[in-house]
A and B are shown apart, each in its own frame.
Chain A
């Protein structure tokens, strides 16, 4: 019985091995499981941008981009399986899961593959001296926390003294990430931080919101993902918490999160590092080359949604890095090492975004050998329930480097010490 299985599995695996040509950018997506709703939209955006490049330009630098997809269900063990199944010939991984990212960080360094984790993953991977193969531009969780506090400072005339800010977070690695930063920021600005954990996946939040109603924090920040967000927003509406004082991280800022609460969600704010909607020139090309030709992932039903746009943005940055890598290596068939060079020299300028057809879609940033995270700029968006859309309400704001840099140095040095890694010199 067992032998037969393995023999069959072997046969299936042979057939499953990808053709060794072109540039391979696997999409470790999740369209099932508790976070499937967001994962689906993200994966669609990621696929569609590469489809557009293949259809319109014949790939990047003449090389067709292959995007084999593998279902992780947001599960770390399946994520490892997917990584091993797709890594041969692959250039870069983007697993959209902090848990899977933690599994893959040590593995990619040994296998020499690039890991690109925009807006999630291990924050201190920003330190390129320690995390040679990991990139988390344009912004990470600590940037997000800092930008949110900066926004609140602006709202309050630069003074948060004596204010109480609650953090409602997914009780996992992802949700715990901002706590240290917020504690430090609290010390600096004199606000009190109230930590309110929510167990995964997050349907059960009654007691947390009762606590919030009792303790009356001035503001609520939320690090949630998936079903947790919509439950939180609904509960906040139920206790009549003022929505404009409720700010989610970018993963708590999609249409999926606010629509179930209906009018109750009006005024809810969230961070973002990418634009939403379809008012960008690129979408005309997308319409002609991908959606109208029926090549869109899942028929293109989520085009323009917040999470779709974020998936597309990740693909845009990867594509730009590939381009840069090709330019630097002088060949179109680049290796992961050459892609890494491309990432390290990557400059996303406003002009380049205009050329791509996505003006003001993301922040301008540039990477270097030591800085794998860019300058961490993010902005805020607010939900307009009547119009059913997100409106951008601030410009791109830089986080508070004074607080973040020492934290990043501390955490990455600890990682290096734990794993006896030598820091690279970045001259």
Chain B
């Protein structure tokens, strides 16, 4: 009823292979894009941008990146925080060293830098997997954070070891620094989110995506049918780190504006993004968005309800927030171990048959 396939005929393979094969889905997707790109920028205010939408978009990019590695290629990583730090510090060094180059190029270069670092730390994945690989990437997390805290060159020898993002513009609009308007910051993040989701979606359903999934499902079998594990695993690390680096660069330059590596990119970040991927749904682009929304928006929402509406003391609310989010995570994983994306898929399937289930 809600999802009607009747009358929606596919006459070419191209039609059949599109991302949103159902017309209603496709329309919904265009509608969301339209609202996100052409409505929200005009009505957004500081609070919505800085407290809700920017973190949501940026973490969605990070979750997409990690989902490629963990969800599609099956390589467990706990180094996300460290790789985000690489993105942040690369963009900082580039911004301060080449102030005249567009920030968009810097962010992409920061992603590229992170990809190289990610590939380097992905090398052990050729020999080890599972928990052992998680420990190896955990080493990357601690090493990178230690490096950025230890070597003053990375923070331009500032007295306190903090990095600050100076003002940079795109087409004359400030997108970093304090003077940037909420809509400018939002649009730049939205651009990168759309770019990341589009690239990731198309990579994962092409040759590389199939190689990754083959490696994930059974690496020896994949090798026998002709998948080169070296190129498959390292490309997964590279692409994943590229997006994670972009997320780190955006987090520092556009969202926070100042960062301290131990605080902003500690092990907690790695866990947060990993939880987003697990709760959203492994191996799903939509799941990355759903997971990011769940872990970014829900705590803010709970805080506003508990403190703002119900008037609870802030500490009580903060503790309850942790408990509620934790309980919900457990609940979701019991009810639907494949994450919110799977839940959404089930709902869609039900709706397609409604009201005549068979």
Q: Which residues of A contact B (CB under 8 A)?
A: 1-2, 5-6, 8-9, 12-13, 15-16, 29, 31-32, 36, 40, 69-71, 73, 75-77, 80-81, 84-85, 87, 98-99, 102-103, 105-107, 109-111, 122-124, 171-174, 176-177, 179-180, 199-200, 411, 414-415, 418-420
Contact = CB atoms under 8 A, between A and B. Distances in A.
Nearest to A82: B51
A390 to B, nearest CB: 26
A177 B159 contact: yes
A420 B301 contact: no
Contact of B55 (A12, A77, A99, A415): A77
B68 interface: no
For the complex of A and B, the 7 pairs showing the least CB-CB separation, nearest first, are A16-B308, A31-B315, A106-B178, A173-B160, A71-B314, A12-B304, A81-B51
A87 B47 CA distance: 9
B160 A32 contact: no
Interface in B302-320: 303-305, 307-309, 313-315, 317-319
A76 B309 CA distance: 24
A260 B92 CA distance: 42
A12 B167 contact: no
Nearest to B297: A5
Contacts of B263: 75-76, 99, 172, 200
B96 interface: yes
10 contacts: A9-B297, A16-B304, A71-B314, A71-B318, A76-B260, A77-B256, A171-B149, A173-B160, A176-B161, A419-B166
B294 to A, nearest CB: 9
Given A5-B293, A13-B47, A81-B50, A32 B177 contact: no
B159 A106 contact: no
Given A9-B297, A12-B309, A31-B315, A418 B256 contact: no
B307 A16 contact: yes
B259 interface: yes
Contact of B256 (A80, A110, A172): A80
B318 A32 contact: yes
A106 B50 contact: no
Interface string B213-243: 0000000000000000000000000000000
A12 B305 contact: yes
A81 B304 CA distance: 11
Given A106-B164, A419-B164, A173 B260 contact: yes
B258 A1 contact: no
A15 B258 CA distance: 31
A106 B258 CA distance: 9
A69 B311 CA distance: 10
A73 B305 CA distance: 18
A107 B160 contact: no
A103 B160 CA distance: 13
A101 to B, nearest CB: 9
B256 A103 contact: yes
A177 B260 CA distance: 13
Contacts of A177: 159-160
B262 interface: yes
Given A1-B344, A9-B304, A179-B159, 14 more contacts: A2-B290, A12-B304, A12-B309, A13-B304, A70-B307, A70-B314, A75-B263, A80-B51, A81-B50, A99-B263, A106-B257, A111-B46, A180-B159, A200-B262
B298 interface: yes
A73 B318 contact: yes
B308 A13 contact: yes
Interface in B271-318: 289-290, 293, 297-298, 300-301, 303-305, 307-309, 313-315, 317-318
A9 B290 CA distance: 16
Interface residues of B, number: 49
A46 to B, nearest CB: 13
Contact of B258 (A70, A103, A411): A103
A110 B179 contact: yes
Contacts of B258: 76, 102-103, 105-106
A171 B263 CA distance: 10
Interface string B35-60: 00000000000110011100100000
Contacts of B264: 76-77
Interface centre among B149, B161, B164, B314 (most CB of A within 10 A): B314
A9 B304 CA distance: 8
Contacts of A81: 50-51, 300
B166 to A, nearest CB: 5
Interface in B130-164: 149, 158-162, 164
A188 B324 CA distance: 56
A272 to B, nearest CB: 22
Contacts of A200: 262-263
B259 A6 contact: no
A5 B260 contact: no
B161 A172 contact: yes
A9 B317 CA distance: 16
B147 to A, nearest CB: 13
B46 A84 contact: yes
B46 A87 contact: yes
A98 B298 CA distance: 27
A9 B52 contact: yes
Contacts of A199: 262
B177 A172 contact: no
Contacts of A31: 314-315, 318
A105 to B, nearest CB: 8
Contacts of A87: 46
B103 interface: no
Interface centre among A103, A107, A174, A200 (most CB of B within 10 A): A103
A321 to B, nearest CB: 23
B50 A419 contact: no
Contact of B308 (A8, A12, A102, A105): A12
Nearest to B45: A84
B63 interface: no
Contacts of A85: 47, 51, 304
B303 A71 contact: yes
B175 interface: no
Contacts of B319: 32
Contacts of B96: 418
Given A76-B259, A176-B161, A9 B301 contact: yes
Nearest to A69: B314
Contacts of A9: 52, 297, 300-301, 304
A177 B297 CA distance: 34
Nearest to B316: A31
Contacts of B161: 172-173, 176
A427 B27 CA distance: 62
